[in-house]
């Protein structure tokens, strides 16, 4: 089944039923476009983050990790240009009183990028061509710019002097610490600094479930390199990012690479490639890889008291490094993984099953141990504990028929089911069932870990 033929509402209901995602603040009527992650959702998210960290930090010996704060000195956002430029063009339809992103309307209708148009040109085009939109007649306002940063204040006095912002990206927290990290870790160019953390954007049109929310999490790497080696590093990280996505088990037909045209590039970027994913609601950006040049370090050098720079001993020169940034949203990636893995499989003429064909390393539970009857609970729980102690996330289910329990585990993506039965006490063996093939094998209890490691994709 293709992603575009999958039913988003069915997927959302499934995620609620099985404890992946809940509407946030539900008992108070919810908060629009805000979602909480349940016990299975957080296990999936942790596995996604673990894998990103392994691929972008641990296995890249030149890269290190970091964790900066959500609220930074507001001069950071002045220097980075976010205070002036981080705004979306907003247009309102006076008939239905709804607000829209003007660029999105244009792009949706023409299938062309709008960045070469001025606000006035965009506004005129919409006024002339879009007489009906979103099931409503239209009477458009002027385009206004709306800064996406959430404002807050620190301390007891709420003065404009104290105006602070929730970060809209994690990257700036890394840039402003460039000297600290480079010196403390004695890093030689090129090297990367990566971080996973929350970002906040007061999006004009959030929606499509967790695709676009106002609070979300990002995984960003800022890879600092010599200015004349930026293009190689950029190519390397485009390829690496694509492989990272595919290694998570996402089908290659579900993604495509989109290179930004010159007139579409952000003001700080020399080149950008988006990795797009086909969601049930259409293609959307999943991950972006940008060559940010020396824009950010230079911007901070202009406004701060300390210069961010690198002394290259070999050439005896001071350098402002170029930055390659692969950036991906955790929530959006989780949605892509869920959509891609969700399927309804016909077993025979009258029976079907819902299955989340998650890659082994992402499964919230790798294994579920099922005692055939409740009297075997104790022995089964011992197996569960043993596997959990060995870092194989395992749960336990003793209620309902074995067939129903298998279905439940298929529906949450559990890779292996282990059934403890009447013979297990005698032959020290259990039956292990594979989620995808439904094939079962009898194996010795002391060989479970070897069996799982041999037959699962643990990379």
Minimum separation from the CB atom of position 112 to ligand ATP (A): 16
Among 43, 91, 287, 369, binds ligand ATP (CB under 6 A): 287
Among 92, 107, 231, 285, binds ligand ATP (CB under 6 A): 285
Minimum separation from the CB atom of position 301 to ligand ATP (A): 23
If you ran DSSP here, which 8-state letter would residue 236 be given? H
Helix axes 230-247, 39-53, angle to 10 degrees: 140
Mask for 291-330, x = binds ligand ATP (CB under 6 A): ------------------------------------xxx-
Distance in angstroms (rounded) separating the CA atoms of residues 403 and 201: 45
Distance in angstroms (rounded) separating the CA atoms of residues 98 and 82: 26
Output 24 or 388, the one with its CB closest to ligand ATP.
24
Output 148 or 449, the one with its CB closest to ligand ATP.
148
Output 86 or 416, the one with its CB closest to ligand ATP.
86
Count of Cβ atoms closer than 10 Å to residue 61 Cβ = 8
Minimum separation from the CB atom of position 402 to ligand ATP (A): 40
Tokens 């230079």 correspond to 298
Among 68, 80, 182, 213, binds ligand ATP (CB under 6 A): 213
367 touches 416 (CB < 8 A): yes
Distance in angstroms (rounded) separating the CA atoms of residues 295 and 79: 10
Classify residue 394 as exposed, middle or buried by CB count within 10 Å of its CB (0-12, 13-18, 19+). Answer: buried
62 touches 250 (CB < 8 A): no
Query: Which residue's C-beta sits nearest to ligand ATP?
Result: 329
Please, which of residues 27-66 interact with ligand ATP by CB under 6 A? none
Instruction: Name the token pair of 85.
Output: 């430029």
User: In 275-295, which positions are buried (b, 16+ CB within 10 angstroms) versus exposed (e)?
Assistant: bbbbbbeebbebbbbbbbbbb
Instruction: Name the token pair of 416.
Output: 């292996």
Output 193 or 355, the one with its CB closest to ligand ATP.
193
Contacts of 348 (CB under 8 A, 6+ apart): none
Q: Which stretch binds ligand ATP (CB under 6 A): 30-38, 212-220, 416-424, 425-433?
A: 212-220
Tokens 């049109």 correspond to 205
Output 55 or 201, the one with its CB closest to ligand ATP.
201
Under the binding rule (CB under 6 A), the answer on residue 107 touching ligand ATP is: no
Among 82, 212, 300, 366, binds ligand ATP (CB under 6 A): 212
Minimum separation from the CB atom of position 13 to ligand ATP (A): 21
Under the binding rule (CB under 6 A), the answer on residue 167 touching ligand ATP is: no
- Write out the H or E segment, with its range, that includes residue 40: helix 39-53
Minimum separation from the CB atom of position 26 to ligand ATP (A): 20
Mask for 325-354, x = binds ligand ATP (CB under 6 A): --xxx-xx----------------------
- Residue 190: asked if its preceding bond is cis (omega within 30°), the reply is yes
Distance in angstroms (rounded) separating the CA atoms of residues 376 and 368: 14
Q: Which stretch binds ligand ATP (CB under 6 A): 149-157, 257-265, 283-291, 430-438?
A: 283-291
Mask for 83-102, x = binds ligand ATP (CB under 6 A): --------------------
Number of residues engaging ligand ATP in binding (CB under 6 A): 16
Output 81 or 449, the one with its CB closest to ligand ATP.
81
Output 331 or 410, the one with its CB closest to ligand ATP.
331
Tell me, rounded to whole angstroms, the distance of Cα 387 from its chain centroid. Answer: 28
Contacts of 59 (CB under 8 A, 6+ apart): none
Nearest to 340 by CA among 3, 47, 9: 3
Q: Which stretch binds ligand ATP (CB under 6 A): 74-82, 235-243, 281-289, 351-359?
A: 281-289
Among 119, 203, 345, 393, binds ligand ATP (CB under 6 A): 203
- Write out the H or E segment, with its range, that includes residue 93: strand 87-93
Q: Which residues bind ligand ATP (CB under 6 A)?
A: 169, 201, 203, 212-213, 216, 218, 285-288, 327-329, 331-332
């Amino acid at each position: 089944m293709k992603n575009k033929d999958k039913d988003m509402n069915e997927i959302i209901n499934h995620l609620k039923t099985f404890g992946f995602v809940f509407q946030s603040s539900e008992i108070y009527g919810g908060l629009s476009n805000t979602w909480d992650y349940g016990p299975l959702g957080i296990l999936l998210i942790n596995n996604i983050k673990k894998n990103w960290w392994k691929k972008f930090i641990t296995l890249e010996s030149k890269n290190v990790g970091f964790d900066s704060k959500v609220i930074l000195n507001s001069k950071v956002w002045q220097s980075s240009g976010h205070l002036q430029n981080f705004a979306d063009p907003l247009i309102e339809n006076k008939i239905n009183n709804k607000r829209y992103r003007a660029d999105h309307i244009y792009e949706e209708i023409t299938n062309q990028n709008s960045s070469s148009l001025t606000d006035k040109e965009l506004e005129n085009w919409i006024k002339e061509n879009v007489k009906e939109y979103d099931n409503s007649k239209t009477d458009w306002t002027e385009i206004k710019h709306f800064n996406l940063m959430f404002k807050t204040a620190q301390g007891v006095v709420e003065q404009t002097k104290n105006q602070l912002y929730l970060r809209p990206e994690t990257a700036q927290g890394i840039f402003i610490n460039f000297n600290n990290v480079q010196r403390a870790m004695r890093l030689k160019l090129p090297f990367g600094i990566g971080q996973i953390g929350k970002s906040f954007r007061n999006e004009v049109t959030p929606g499509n479930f967790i695709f676009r929310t106002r609070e979300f999490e990002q995984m960003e790497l800022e890879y600092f390199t010599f200015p004349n080696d930026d293009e190689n590093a950029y190519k390397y990280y485009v390829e690496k990012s694509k492989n990272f996505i595919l290694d998570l088990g996402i089908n290659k037909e579900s993604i495509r690479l989109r290179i930004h045209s010159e007139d579409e590039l952000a003001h700080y970027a020399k080149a950008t490639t988006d990795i797009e994913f086909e969601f049930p609601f259409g293609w959307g950006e999943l991950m972006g890889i940008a060559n940010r040049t020396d824009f950010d370090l230079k911007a901070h050098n202009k406004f701060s008291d300390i210069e961010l720079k690198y002394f290259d001993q070999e050439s005896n020169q001071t350098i402002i490094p170029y930055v390659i940034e692969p950036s991906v949203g955790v929530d959006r990636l989780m949605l892509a993984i869920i959509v891609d893995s969700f399927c309804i499989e016909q077993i025979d003429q009258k029976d079907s099953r819902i299955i989340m064909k998650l890659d082994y390393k992402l499964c919230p539970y790798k294994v579920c141990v099922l005692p055939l009857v409740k009297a075997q609970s104790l022995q089964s729980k011992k197996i569960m504990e043993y596997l959990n102690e060995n870092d194989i996330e395992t749960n336990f289910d003793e209620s309902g028929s074995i067939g129903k329990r298998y279905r439940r585990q298929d529906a949450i993506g559990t890779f292996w089911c282990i059934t403890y039965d009447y013979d297990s006490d005698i032959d020290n063996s259990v039956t292990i069932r594979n989620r995808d093939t439904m094939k079962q094998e009898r194996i010795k209890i002391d060989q479970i870990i070897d069996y799982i490691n041999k037959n699962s994709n643990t990379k």
